[in-house]
Amino acid sequence: MCVVYGHGGEAVREALRDYGGIWVRQEPQLGTGHAVMQAAPHLDERWPTLVLYGDVPLIRVQTLKRLVESAGKGLAVLTAVL
């Protein structure tokens, strides 16, 4: 797991400290694409990559599993209608 964090990210690190992984501080915070660029050197092509925003805390593991399955070896995008 690679988590890119910025403003207020220390609280996220503290909350997830038991899960391990790699932590990458995004400074300055230049958007989601930039965050992915910060994580890219730490990603492993053998495993799927999920890009999640910090404001989706209620997403279910079941939903993410279905997303990964849908992508196969390609790309999948999850959207929602509010």
* Residue 70 confidence (pLDDT) above 80: yes
pLDDT, average across residues 22-31: 92
For residue 3, which of 13, 11, 27 has the smallest C-alpha distance? 13
For residue 3, which of 70, 66, 50 has the smallest C-alpha distance? 50
Please check whether residue 56 is in contact with residue 19, taking contact to mean a CB–CB distance below 8 angstroms.
no
In sequence order, which residues have a C-beta less than 8 Å from that of residue 52 and are 6 or more positions away? 59
* Residue 35 confidence (pLDDT) above 90: yes
- Say what the pTM is: 0.74
Q: How far is CA 20 from CA 30, 47, 50, 67, 79, in A?
A: 25, 16, 17, 23, 28
Higher pLDDT, residue 57 or 59: 59
* Residue 64 confidence (pLDDT) above 80: yes
Tokens representing 44 are 């492993």
* Residue 16 confidence (pLDDT) above 80: yes
How confident is the prediction for the chain on average, in pLDDT? 87
